[in-house]
Every structure is written in C-alpha cells, then in structure tokens.
Structure 1
Amino acid sequence: MGTISHDHAKLNLDTIAEAIRTLVEANPSIKVKSIIAEIQSRFNYIVSYRKAWLAKQKYVAKVFGDWEVSYQTLPVWLKAMTVNMPRSHVQIKMLPVYRESEEAQGVRVLHYVFWSFYPCIVAFRHCKPLVQVDGTHLYDKYKGTLLIAVT
C-alpha cells in the first residue's frame, strides 16, 4: 500500500505528540525528519515538517515545561545556587514591558543573567588576562543577541 502524501484530518498535533512520546523521551533533540519517518511508518501518512515540528515542541513542553515557565523559575534556581554555594555572584536584570507607552503591570522580560561561582572568582587572579566574547543572533520567537563571555 502506498503512502498518502497529505495530512489526515484526525492526525492532529495531539495524536502525533502521543505517537512520538517514546522517541522524544529517549532523545529530546530528535530530528524532525525522524519524526516524519516514524509517523509515516505508523500511520502510512506523510505529515508536513511544520506539523511534526509543532508536535515535537508540544510534547517537549509537556515533559520539560515550556519556555515561559523556565524563565519564571530562573530567579528561584539562581537563588538556590547562591544559598548552596555561598559567595558566588549572581546578577539578574528584568525590564518592564510597555504597551502603548504605558508599563504593563506584573509583566517583566529577562534582559540578562550573570553568574560566577566563587572558586572561579578566586582562581581568576591566577589566570592569564584573556577574555573571549562570542555572540549569536536570535531569530523567530526570541529576538536579540545572545552574548557569552569566557575568561
């Protein structure tokens, strides 16, 4: 029996996400093409790349939590780090969100996070003075530039 090259109406994101559950749990960075091949072998339909990608993102968010939750828990994790590793340095800056020149109440956006472990701070005195800075542009959902400094 040949494969049908269009999506089936009942083959929605929830169905695909449940079908790839074991694959994503075993390897969260699984390629979307592998997901398409798995759906093709199980249901005899070829789903679009977008539909397979969205199903993967949906299941990853279900298992590991979505990005918004991760950003909300970041200050808690950084606080726990400083409690368990005294004298480590953590600095986090959040910016307000403006809608039509008015600040949105209770909405903050992550601007930057800096942390350094205390042993690294102490050991820095014994290092050669070398700082390497690298950056990458962020696209799609998260705009801006991600800068990383290594010393």
Structure 2
Amino acid sequence: MEKYIDPSKVYTPKDIADDMLKLHGVSLTYIHACRAKEKVVKLVRGDPAESYAKLPRSVLKIKRKEGDTCLYAFVALEACIRGWKYCRPIVVVDGARLKCSYGGTMLTVSTMDTGGHRPPLAYAIVDSKNDVSWTWFSEQFKEAY
C-alpha cells in the first residue's frame, strides 16, 4: 500500500502482477491486478464520490444549444460567494477572447477586498462578446450573489 500514498508515483497493474509473483509466488492476470489497484487506491485515498459530496456547494450553470453542445458555462465557487461579504460593493467585469480551436470568450468578474486584493467572484465561457451572452452572464451572477 505504501506505493499508493505518493500520488506522483506510477504503479501500473503490470507492476502489481510482477510484485505478487516475485513476493508471494502468485500469478495475477492484468484485470485482477487492475481491480486490486482500484480497491487499494479507494482504501488509501477514499471514495471519490464521497470526497466530491464534501466539497462546498458552488454554482455551475450550463446553457446548451441544439445538438446538446455547450453555448454558455458559468462558475462561481462557494469560497468566493462566502467571501463576497468581506469585499467592497464594487465589481469589475472583463472579457477576453479565447484563442483556441473552439474559440469563444471568457468573462470574469472580480472585486476588491479590504486588504486591497482582487479576488475573483465568478467566470464564464460564452460564444462571443454580444448582448445576449453578457445578459446571460449578468443574470447568473446576480442569481449566485
């Protein structure tokens, strides 16, 4: 199990099968070694579903277009939402075009806290800088905060 504690160490099912043969004289198939690895990782690191359930509640909104593809995505993390009450009641909204094969625009909103830091409050990925996407982003921000 020590080999699973360091997440940067790669320990493959083949390594497990080789170790079992060398240390215990037991021959394992690849699938048995793979299942054993899954069980040990879950035992050491915990169940991913339980871990995600413990995360603070954040806001994630996705608007889809025909063909079930994503048109807009909005994210506001719980820590940012809770921290808003310690900030000045001013927000700055900005947009930047994404230069990738999918294109689009990233919209961000941030504020300033009493210490002069500029924490992010929310961000969104939209199709382009247009009135419809800015309106949708503003509505999601207003609902989250």
Smaller-chain TM-score range?
0.3 to 0.5
Structure (1 or 2) with the larger CA radius of gyration: 2
The alignment's TM-score, normalised by the length of structure 1, stands at 0.40
The alignment's TM-score, normalised by the length of structure 2, stands at 0.42
